[in-house]
Structure 1
Amino acid sequence: MPSFPTIDPFRGEVLATYPIETAARIQEKIERLRGALPAWRALPVTERVRRVTQALEYFSRNRRMVAHDITRQMGKPIRESEREIETFFERAAYLCAIAPEALAAESLPEKPGFFREIRHEPLGVLLVLAAWNYPLLVAINGVAAALLSGNTVLLEHSDITPGIGVHFERAFQEAFDRPILLQTTTDHPTIDRIIEERGVDGVLFTGSVAGGKTVYEAASRALIACNLELGGKDGAYVAEDADPVAAAESLVEGAVYNAGQSCCSIERVYVHTDLYERFVAAARASMTTFRMGDPLSEATTLGPLARGKAAAERLMGQIEEALAAGARLEHGGKIRTIGHGVFLEPTLLTGVTQEMRVMQEESFGPLLPVMRVPDDETAFRRIDDSPYGLTAAIYTRDPQRADRFSRAVTVGTVFMNRCDVLDPALPWSGCKESGVGCALSRYGFLSVTRRMAIHFRIPTGPIDPRTGREKR
């Protein structure tokens, strides 16, 4: 069977080799998951909560090993990997806590002679396709909601982080006597085939816009549910009443954390002209605080680019094009090689224009372009001028200004005085090319269930034994 390696982006070492499973092999796994489905969905939600919670204890027992594996596979600093585990538990605990209420049947107003309710039924076997940049968090968003709803799960991680899929499978194998979650490693054409041939009953995908469109096309041919979390070009506005230093520190962190490899990283900032110079100076100072190096070192705060030279070339293309068109380099802008790792220095650009690629195309790296604006309306309009619609942020002391901002932009989440953070009580969704559907919160369960209408006519008189109908 063909295989592929995973390689430590900093050390250049082969970590493990994984099989490229065939469609036939994957279908065998799906049949096992389908066989486990009736007993799993028949359990009360509270029992499913108990068993999922039990399975996730694996990650608590092995948290150091899991954090180490995340860092070795995709280059995230070990401190950030450990923080990802903390957030993983927070999200899982919240979804477990709300599942009984969120999945409870909804009763309608009483109607004499009838019983009516709306049930949230599982879809069946769900395929969760998880991205590499947050391999625990991206996976648990779909896995937890799917399993708690009574589905079983086939999990495929990116070819950069398949080892995290192995951890998920181990966790649920240790806790269950039947397979409710199995992982696979394969290639894109095989995944498309599995979807198109209706091997699974729904898909939850996190990844690139191009990848999402391919998955969506395959799902449409099979007429199955498909939830997509795709890219972003998230913008922020620093209004005239904001604290420019606090805003700069927050937005630089939002741009550089995880080497900017996040769909909701801050990728463009618009600053009111009255604060512009102070903001740029504070942002430049903030960028000097990041330390590149071995991601397993506690001292490192900026790891290598997970996709190495390919990512570096894309980022440098945006930077060089902007500089050639008149932008100014305020900090960084160079590719550095440390060990075998390819790093982009935290990079700050000013003098950019709205038409530049660096302001329109997703960067996915530690790169922050900053643009001066004269007023709120210009900032609102330019933030909304994007093919993406994941998040947008405003820094202001005025909640009314923030409310006006929220009504002027087409995005899934609007932040005030913060950015690049998910609250599991709120739906995580995108507009335009940032996705379809949502995850997290009570609304995330809607992506992994279907509505069943119960419409019973209740007899009020004796039944005629010959016809089975109510006597009149």
Structure 2
Amino acid sequence: MSTNAVFQTISPINNQVWLERPYANKRQVVATLTNAIKAQQLWCKLALSERVAYCQKAMNYCLSQQQAIGRDICWQMGRPLLQAEREVSVMVERANYMLEVAESALAPAQLPYRPGFNNKLVREPLGLVMVIAPWNYPLLTAINSIIPALVAGNGVILKHSSQTPRCAEWLAEAFKQAQLPEGVFQYLHLDHQTTGELLTAKEINHVVLTGSVAVGKQVEKQLAGHFKTISLELGGKDAAYIRPDADLKSSVASVVDGAFFNSGQSCCGIERLYIHQEVYDQCLPMIIDAVKQYQLGHPENQHTTLGPMVRARAASQVLTQIQQAIEQGAEARLDYRLFVDEKVNNPPLKINTVDSAYLAPQILTGVNHQMAVMTEETFGPVLPVMKVDSDLQAVELINDSAYGLTAAIYGKDSEITRNMASQLAVGTVFLNRCDYLDPALAWTGIKASGKGYCLSNWGYETVTRPKSYHFKGQP
């Protein structure tokens, strides 16, 4: 690979080059690994309280740069500016929780006393952790693993999406400002080939990937036989179900936000909705009216609540899925021209065209599980809605999926909903909310949504290994 090979980040806002960066060459990769090994050997010997303090300072720096970081996120992946800025503060809140629970999560296990023995079970760092982060929540997805990995005593190498390279640079600057020892946290801008080579490097002990199922399969295949640990957060087709006893107003508001926030490009965004037949006719007009309130536009416009998708190609793929569903009998309930507002967007935006990242939100009815829009990941501002006649049918349809990240039930907190929740084949079940990560709970998926977990006390288990001390004859 040439030392001057570069990549470009095309902003979905105007479809123009926003920045260019050189890819790291093999010499730089080797130097990064060498520095990381040396730094981690000293870093893991620091007191836990010292490691926590470094990370806290880094998060405080990010908070001080919230507006600048938010603007970079906005221009790199298209999220409305105020929402992009909010990601910084949510990242800090999440990191703070993981820092607060670090001592209890990493404490030695409490073992029963045995006369004549001094046995203990402790958690030790794995060594070097490679984090591969995506563009859709470029700070939140990365920090889920970076903070516990560092606090546990590991070194971290971050490979961020080429769509959001500035987020890796901001995190590196934050740790630099916190005076983190050099080499403990590093990032590399890598092409696909070099990423694969780094994955299998003997110095890397653990790999964290948030990405597509296809990439997850490729990573698993590359790591076969290398005996590394791995955490994968992959695709999703998350469902919501509104029961007859649900508070319809709050349920609709929650589902619509969960489906369309971030232009539908959320890991656990709602991609299919089931409504009980008793309340279907009441809910559907409420949903349509709620979606009509969105304002599609330039992300820096203060009135914009829905920005472009990450790139024109992604918008085109979602539009194709919508058109295929319509050809199979689905009905589109929104006219995209509702979202062409020349007064707000001057000059007018190109919406729902093959060369534009701006895609109008859509509601589809008359859908079924023979349609890709109900079974394949969409990752866009589309909500297919299906009527069901019972809780049992809702559970069966929710589970009729290759994915298993989250599912949401809307109704009373009762024995019925708890029984339904126990039957859902997902990593997280929500009741009366959706599309949210509570850092006190483990974030995990099953089936094609991946394996492993992060966040909560348990999140520290994935970046450490147990070590047993069986000492006989010790006081």
TM bucket normalised to smaller: over 0.9
Partner of 1:158: 161
Partner of 2:78: 75
In 2, the alpha carbon distance for the partners of 1:5 and 1:195 equals 23
Instruction: Letter of the 1:292 partner, please give it.
Output: L
**Counterparts of residues 112-151 of structure 1 (less than 5 Å):** 112-151=115-154
In 1, the alpha carbon distance for the partners of 2:299 and 2:255 equals 22
- The question of whether the paired residues in 2 share the 8 Å contact of 1:4 and 1:18 is answered with yes
Structure of larger gyration radius: 1
Kindly state the Cα deviation for residue 409 of structure 1 after the two structures are TM-superposed: 1.0
TM-score by length of 2: 0.94
Post-superposition CA distance 1:323-369 (Å, at most 9, x none): 11111111246797827852111110011012210000000001000
Kindly state the Cα deviation for residue 23 of structure 1 after the two structures are TM-superposed: 3.2
Post-superposition CA distance 1:141-175 (Å, at most 9, x none): 01101001000110111010011100111111222
In 1, the alpha carbon distance for the partners of 2:237 and 2:211 equals 14
Deviates more, 1:392-401 or 1:281-290: 392-401
**Counterparts of residues 398-413 of structure 1 (less than 5 Å):** 398-413=413-428
Whether 1:355 aligns to 2:370 is: yes
Deviates more, 1:69-78 or 1:172-181: 172-181
Post-superposition CA distance 1:72-93 (Å, at most 9, x none): 1110101111221121011010
In 2, the alpha carbon distance for the partners of 1:459 and 1:408 equals 49
3-state DSSP of counterpart to 1:30 = helix
In 2, the alpha carbon distance for the partners of 1:311 and 1:28 equals 36
For residue 103 of structure 1, the aligned residue among 89, 106, 112 is: 106
Deviates more, 1:202-211 or 1:13-22: 13-22
Partner of 2:343: none
3-state DSSP of counterpart to 2:190 = coil
Whether 1:53 aligns to 2:56 is: yes
Kindly state the Cα deviation for residue 459 of structure 1 after the two structures are TM-superposed: 4.5
Root mean square deviation of aligned Cα = 1.5
Whether 1:5 aligns to 2:8 is: yes
Kindly state the Cα deviation for residue 12 of structure 1 after the two structures are TM-superposed: 2.9
Kindly state the Cα deviation for residue 24 of structure 1 after the two structures are TM-superposed: 3.3
3-state DSSP of counterpart to 1:211 = helix
For residue 235 of structure 2, the aligned residue among 208, 212, 231 is: 231
Instruction: Letter of the 1:48 partner, please give it.
Output: R
Kindly state the Cα deviation for residue 68 of structure 1 after the two structures are TM-superposed: 0.6
Q: Give the direction of change, closer, same or farther, for the CA distance of 1:135–1:332 in structure 2 (3 Å limit).
A: farther
Whether 1:36 aligns to 2:39 is: yes
Partner of 2:473: 458
Deviates more, 1:103-112 or 1:327-336: 327-336
3-state DSSP of counterpart to 2:18 = strand
Partner of 1:381: 396
For residue 325 of structure 2, the aligned residue among 309, 314, 322 is: 322
Q: Give the direction of change, closer, same or farther, for the CA distance of 1:162–1:459 in structure 2 (3 Å limit).
A: closer
Kindly state the Cα deviation for residue 289 of structure 1 after the two structures are TM-superposed: 0.9
**Counterparts of residues 274-423 of structure 1 (less than 5 Å):** 274-308=278-312, 310-332=313-335, 338=349, 342-423=357-438
Kindly state the Cα deviation for residue 220 of structure 1 after the two structures are TM-superposed: 2.5
In 2, the alpha carbon distance for the partners of 1:40 and 1:384 equals 44
Partner of 1:469: none
Q: Give the direction of change, closer, same or farther, for the CA distance of 1:397–1:177 in structure 2 (3 Å limit).
A: closer
- The question of whether the paired residues in 2 share the 8 Å contact of 1:124 and 1:152 is answered with yes
Whether 1:191 aligns to 2:195 is: yes
In 2, the alpha carbon distance for the partners of 1:426 and 1:298 equals 34
Partner of 1:470: none
TM-score by length of 1: 0.94
Kindly state the Cα deviation for residue 231 of structure 1 after the two structures are TM-superposed: 1.0
In 1, the alpha carbon distance for the partners of 2:238 and 2:115 equals 52
Whether 1:262 aligns to 2:262 is: no
Q: Give the direction of change, closer, same or farther, for the CA distance of 1:80–1:332 in structure 2 (3 Å limit).
A: farther
In 2, the alpha carbon distance for the partners of 1:148 and 1:196 equals 24
Whether 1:426 aligns to 2:445 is: no
Partner of 1:464: none
In 1, the alpha carbon distance for the partners of 2:148 and 2:302 equals 33
Whether 1:88 aligns to 2:99 is: no
Extract unaligned runs of 5+ from structure 2: 341-347
Kindly state the Cα deviation for residue 262 of structure 1 after the two structures are TM-superposed: 1.1
In 2, the alpha carbon distance for the partners of 1:459 and 1:395 equals 57
Post-superposition CA distance 1:42-81 (Å, at most 9, x none): 0111111111111222202211100010001110101111
Deviates more, 1:374-383 or 1:221-230: 221-230
Instruction: Letter of the 1:399 partner, please give it.
Output: S
- The question of whether the paired residues in 2 share the 8 Å contact of 1:245 and 1:278 is answered with no
Post-superposition CA distance 1:160-203 (Å, at most 9, x none): 00111001111112222422111110112211111123231111
Q: Give the direction of change, closer, same or farther, for the CA distance of 1:342–1:459 in structure 2 (3 Å limit).
A: closer
In 2, the alpha carbon distance for the partners of 1:87 and 1:177 equals 26
3-state DSSP of counterpart to 2:225 = helix
For residue 172 of structure 2, the aligned residue among 159, 169, 172 is: 169
Deviates more, 1:313-322 or 1:230-239: 313-322
In 1, the alpha carbon distance for the partners of 2:169 and 2:101 equals 27
In 1, the alpha carbon distance for the partners of 2:267 and 2:436 equals 11
Kindly state the Cα deviation for residue 218 of structure 1 after the two structures are TM-superposed: 1.9
Q: Give the direction of change, closer, same or farther, for the CA distance of 1:109–1:430 in structure 2 (3 Å limit).
A: same
In 2, the alpha carbon distance for the partners of 1:50 and 1:197 equals 30
Deviates more, 1:210-219 or 1:435-444: 210-219
How many pairs are equivalent? 459
Whether 1:66 aligns to 2:69 is: yes
In 1, the alpha carbon distance for the partners of 2:257 and 2:87 equals 16
In 2, the alpha carbon distance for the partners of 1:459 and 1:204 equals 39
In 2, the alpha carbon distance for the partners of 1:132 and 1:23 equals 24
Kindly state the Cα deviation for residue 26 of structure 1 after the two structures are TM-superposed: 1.2
Post-superposition CA distance 1:96-154 (Å, at most 9, x none): 00001101111310111111221111011110100100001011101101001000110
- The question of whether the paired residues in 1 share the 8 Å contact of 2:307 and 2:358 is answered with yes
Kindly state the Cα deviation for residue 257 of structure 1 after the two structures are TM-superposed: 0.0
3-state DSSP of counterpart to 2:19 = strand
Kindly state the Cα deviation for residue 16 of structure 1 after the two structures are TM-superposed: 1.8
- Structure in which a larger fraction of residues adopt strand: 1
Partner of 2:457: 442
